[in-house]
Structure 1
Amino acid sequence: MTDSVRAFERGLRVIRSFTADTSLQTLADVARATDLNRATARRFLLTLEELGYVRRVGDLFTLTPRVLDLGYAYVSSFGVPQLAQPYLEQLSEQLHEAASVGVLDGAEVVYVARVPAKRVMTVSIGLGTRFPAYRTSLGRALLAWLPDDEVERLWDVSDKQQPTSRTVADLDSLRQRLRAVRRLGYALVDQELEIGVRSVAAPVRDATGRPVAAINLSTHVSRTTKQDLQQRFAPALLRTAGQIEHALSSRPS
């Protein structure tokens, strides 16, 4: 790795050291989180401050909203989140539940567009939220179309904590669920991410037929049965995925 590439990687590491739990950090905190010495961490923080991505509050550092520009650059260049947003809004309005778009990033699924439900949900999800892909309907709607060896590789590097007693606990069980996704065309996850939460997801494919994203609906067991998800939600979701695919293929090149 060249010096310039290494410097870029370290700068990104500094930005990623700020999380919901560490939104305010001292220089020592950043150095420790990034495994950099204090002098190097200080140089990166001062550079990011000069560029407007970090600001100082006394002895503490925090990110500024300008960091969102990095994420918006991806959203704009990828195109799917912006294009899908009106379809998500329509789907959410039709079924009165939260609707989202997610993409795979390694072994995780990342939320890149979302229309929240007007009802209260226990799971807090926003743009940029990440979960292990295998636990989620969005993730499974994408994992299902990968080669077996790639699924195994992603399983090996996944966070295998079991948030509920229903969460998939081994690779064979995951493969069984992915076979069901391929058979049905959609993924249904029942309380594997959090007790009380059910969701259903379908892939969104590009003009070559390759899944590039997935859309889902999430709901609570107190108001939606598995039968509801299969009979009402899944057909609406598949129609919406088809509409987004058509819009994608119709974009000017």
Structure 2
Amino acid sequence: MTRDDTPNAASVGATERSFSIIEQLGERGGCGVSELAESLSISKSTVHNHLQTLRSLGYVVQDGDEYRLGLQFLGLGDRARQHHDLYHVAKPETDSLVEAVGERAQVMVEDDGVGIYIYQSLADQAVRTDSHIGTVVDLHATSVGKAYLAHLPDDRLDEVLEAISFTEQTPDTLTEVESLRAELDEIAERGYAFNDEERTVGMRAVGAPILSADDDRVLGAISVSGPTTRMKGTWYREEVPEMVTQSAQIIGIRATYS
């Protein structure tokens, strides 16, 4: 998942390189200077200098010839989430939803054209995938993303769709804007979205938009995810959507009046 990499006259190259290194370490779990230099197409000396600076600040840890992210990022991430009002009102309702459905639920907000999970709750039997709090997801390949998009004003929707790369994540991912727009019209009419193995093979999800109670602004979205072996039939098509939309409505009311 990458954000817009259009060159900006105000950008600082050294900062961009540091964050490119940080993102690579996050994706790979840890790697050496040569591997980073090759993947980022920059010199080993430049990579080494950035790593040593990040290590001195506590944001990178060195273990032999390998480097990995330091725990300093945990504090930064938690503080960023704590400042997001929707997280506080969504957490208890999301936990209640998980108790009712016995699967996994996540709350997403949009940031710069991508979705970010600000909270996730799992039942004991829930299937774990690569998603977690802080995961950045494509809006076109998730039920939360599509539910969110379907309730955007037309001008904002056009902006976001223009920025989406429509990466194919599974054989069922929507990869054409026309197909997505047609589905968004259906989602807006019924009030919730389906994700039928569009991001992860073997997983389905149902998502609903979180709307403010005062003027129907879309604040984010919430979804329930589970394996295709359990998310099927009337349970998947009717019962889970009803519970997800109810939770979304409750969160929206609390977000508006808290």
Task: Give the TM interval when normalised to the shorter protein.
Answer: 0.7 to 0.9
Give the Å deviation of 1:42. Answer: 2.0
Give the Å deviation of 1:250. Answer: 2.3
Aligned match of 1:242: 249
Single out whichever of 122-131 and 96-105 deviates more from structure 2. 122-131
Aligned match of 2:159: 150
Is 2:112 the counterpart of 1:74? no
- Alpha-carbon distance in structure 1 between the residues aligned to 2:120 and 2:128: 16
Query: Quick one: which of 14, 24, 29 aligns to 2:21?
Result: 14
Give the Å deviation of 1:90. Answer: 0.4
- TM-score by length of structure 1 reads 0.86
Q: Unaligned stretches of 5+ in structure 2?
A: 1-8
Is 2:53 the counterpart of 1:44? no
What amino acid is the match of 2:230? R
CA contact (8 A) 1:103 1:212 kept: yes
Query: Quick one: which of 24, 32, 42 aligns to 2:30?
Result: 24
CA contact (8 A) 2:208 2:244 kept: yes
Give the Å deviation of 1:163. Answer: 0.9
What amino acid is the match of 2:187? V
Is the alpha carbon distance of 1:7 and 1:194 closer, same or farther for their aligned partners in structure 2, counting shifts above 3 Å? closer
Classify the secondary structure of the residue corresponding to 1:158. coil
Is 2:186 the counterpart of 1:180? yes
CA offsets 1:53-73 (integer angstroms, 9 cap, x no match): 111112221111211223223
CA contact (8 A) 1:162 1:169 kept: no
Aligned match of 2:108: 102
What amino acid is the match of 1:149? D
Single out whichever of 198-207 and 102-111 deviates more from structure 2. 102-111
Give the Å deviation of 1:236. Answer: 1.5
CA offsets 1:170-204 (integer angstroms, 9 cap, x no match): 22221111011110111112222234322111111
Aligned match of 2:65: 59
Query: Quick one: which of 195, 198, 218 aligns to 1:189?
Result: 195
Is 2:218 the counterpart of 1:211? yes
What amino acid is the match of 1:26? G
- TM-score by length of structure 2 reads 0.85
Quick one: percent identity of the two aligned structures?
A: 27
Query: Quick one: which of 117, 121, 125 aligns to 2:127?
Result: 121
Aligned match of 1:84: 90
What is the alpha-carbon root mean square deviation over aligned residues?
A: 2.3
Is the alpha carbon distance of 1:38 and 1:208 closer, same or farther for their aligned partners in structure 2, counting shifts above 3 Å? farther
- Alpha-carbon distance in structure 2 between the residues aligned to 1:244 and 1:126: 20
Give the Å deviation of 1:29. Answer: 2.2
Is 2:176 the counterpart of 1:135? no
- Alpha-carbon distance in structure 2 between the residues aligned to 1:36 and 1:82: 41
Give the Å deviation of 1:234. Answer: 1.6
Classify the secondary structure of the residue corresponding to 1:18. helix
- Alpha-carbon distance in structure 1 between the residues aligned to 2:200 and 2:48: 39
- Alpha-carbon distance in structure 2 between the residues aligned to 1:49 and 1:92: 39
- Alpha-carbon distance in structure 2 between the residues aligned to 1:182 and 1:17: 37
- Alpha-carbon distance in structure 2 between the residues aligned to 1:246 and 1:77: 19
- Alpha-carbon distance in structure 1 between the residues aligned to 2:202 and 2:19: 36
Give the Å deviation of 1:222. Answer: 2.0
Is 2:231 the counterpart of 1:224? yes
What amino acid is the match of 2:80? Y
